[in-house]
Structure 1
Amino acid sequence: MEDLRGRASRLDALRGLAVVWMTVFHFCFDLNFHGFIQQRMLSDPVWTWQRASIVTLFLFCAGMGQALALASGQGWPRFWRRWAQVAGCALAVTAGSYFMFPKTFIGFGVLHGLATMLIIARLSGRFGGWLWPMGAVALLSPLVAQALLPGTGLEAAFNGVPLRVLGLVTVKPFTEDYVPILPWLGVVWWGLAAGSWAARHRRAWLEGPLAGGAAARALAWLGRHSLPWYMLHQPVLMGLVGAAAYLARA
């Protein structure tokens, strides 16, 4: 039986909710890709806002998780072991997406951004109340860049390959997934700030017993295994929907 001692089960369940939402979203994406439904998933706000909300929930949970790890005295060796898993999966996503979508492969998607922002969060985890205004600045920075950069001659540099990971772009790159450092670091910082406050004052909110029976336990399980689920669910879904499309055409 899985050892759950020290687990923030409620935070796991919240992350699990993001996993379920992401899985449903990707299932709809695959249905659209194979022509079973007709949706403008890259431009319709119904879909783009869902994507933004899913990423926000994941990264907020990541910030809270780092806060609890710091409060529990987690050392750098354990941090780096987990970080290596995220970074390795990010490289695998790049390779896999290049095979599937060579013109729009994922160069800096959610796992690439997460790997970068986890290091920043770890280094800034003791900033306390400063994390709230820091997060606000990070969230607003791309809007400021879009307002000030055009006409300065700098937009080409920030839109280019090395610097576009910062997120200060005036034109969004054409790629299957793009989660730059800004504004998303702001979400991680706010999660870090909220998690630090909860660790000091309301730890039971995150680590208390789960309500909701089997459904809540299932969500918590998904949250604890979010990385392997993230890596496996889309190849499985794409394979199943692709097989269904093949049979429908046969």
Structure 2
Amino acid sequence: MSRGAERFDRLDALRGLAIVWMAAYHFSFDLNHFRLLDPRQDFYGDAFWTLQRTAIVSLFLFCAGLGQAAALDAGQGWPRFWRRWAQVAGCALLVSAGSATMFPHSWISFGVLHGIALMLILSRLAAPLGRWLWPLGAVAIVLPFVWQHAFFDTRWTNWVGLVTHKPVTEDYVPLLPWWGVMLWGLAAGQWALARRRGWLTGALPRVLAPLALLGRWSLSFYMVHQPVFIGALTALLSLGLIGR
């Protein structure tokens, strides 16, 4: 099988796992938003939820880094990269518009899709650094914890991540520290493809095939799952089938 036709079902399944975890988290958030959880949950302060969010975003970005390593290994050129990138960036704009309607005071100006769109470009440019991606990723992760400045606290600058306080928004995935996670995924992918290729290209147990399929359609699922969840809950509440 040629490199270009090689399947990465294991990577797709890992991305699919992140999607399932994210969907469960968001559905719980929606139940709480509609006051259907008792007791009410604090998704912004309770470590049970905040740590899950950190883990989910980390897994997504690590998978994105692995995916970039696989794409570059397969010889993906810039034209194909930009076509995929345009889909991510376009969806990011839709998320901003949708969140502004539902959460006008905490709309998403730089969430996970915005972050991924920027990080994909930077990661592709950084890919030739090879093993130096590891220390670069470490710097990206550590820097916002050791240095911040009020200049980065505005809507126009907080995408960098060097904020003195977290902005009021429903989703916030700035360049720093999160680019470091994608860089580590890229570095891990390069290492695995050079030394343990089977880790990414090996056969996948049949029971995990649905996860791989979901992982291949992760962006589409991401864009539709919340409207479906919110629409279904709204309809059920309106019909009096749930809630008190």
Q: 1:249 and 1:191, CA in 2 relative to 1: closer, same or farther beyond 3 A?
A: closer
Alignment partners' CA distance in 2, 1:7 and 1:169:
40
State the number of aligned residues: 237
1:188 — aligned with what? 182
Code of the residue aligned with 1:205 in structure 2: it is W
* 1:111 equivalent among 99, 110, 113: 113
Q: How far did residue 241 of structure 1 move?
A: 1.6
Q: 1:237 and 1:133, CA in 2 relative to 1: closer, same or farther beyond 3 A?
A: same
Alignment of 1:166-205 (within 5 A): 166-205=160-199
Q: How far did residue 249 of structure 1 move?
A: 6.0
Q: 1:204 and 1:42, CA in 2 relative to 1: closer, same or farther beyond 3 A?
A: same
1:31 — aligned with what? 31
The runs of at least 4 consecutive aligned structure 1 residues that moved more than 6 Å come to none
Q: Which runs of 5+ in 2 are unaligned?
A: none
Alignment partners' CA distance in 2, 1:5 and 1:29:
39
Code of the residue aligned with 2:236 in structure 1: it is A
2:155 — aligned with what? 161
Q: Which runs of 5+ in 1 are unaligned?
A: 150-154
Alignment of 1:58-207 (within 5 A): 58-145=60-147, 149=148, 155-207=149-201
Code of the residue aligned with 2:6 in structure 1: it is G
TM-score by length of 2: 0.94
1:8 — aligned with what? 8
2:220 — aligned with what? 228
TM-score by length of 1: 0.92
1:50 — aligned with what? 52
Range 109-118 or range 239-248, more displaced: 239-248
Deviations 1:187-229 (A, max 9, x none): 0000000000011111111111102x23x00000010000000
Code of the residue aligned with 2:195 in structure 1: it is H
Q: How far did residue 239 of structure 1 move?
A: 1.1
Q: How far did residue 5 of structure 1 move?
A: 4.3
RMSD between aligned residues = 1.3
1:210 — aligned with what? 204
Percent sequence identity over aligned pairs: 58
Code of the residue aligned with 1:95 in structure 2: it is A
Alignment partners' CA distance in 2, 1:78 and 1:194:
23
Alignment partners' CA distance in 2, 1:225 and 1:203:
23
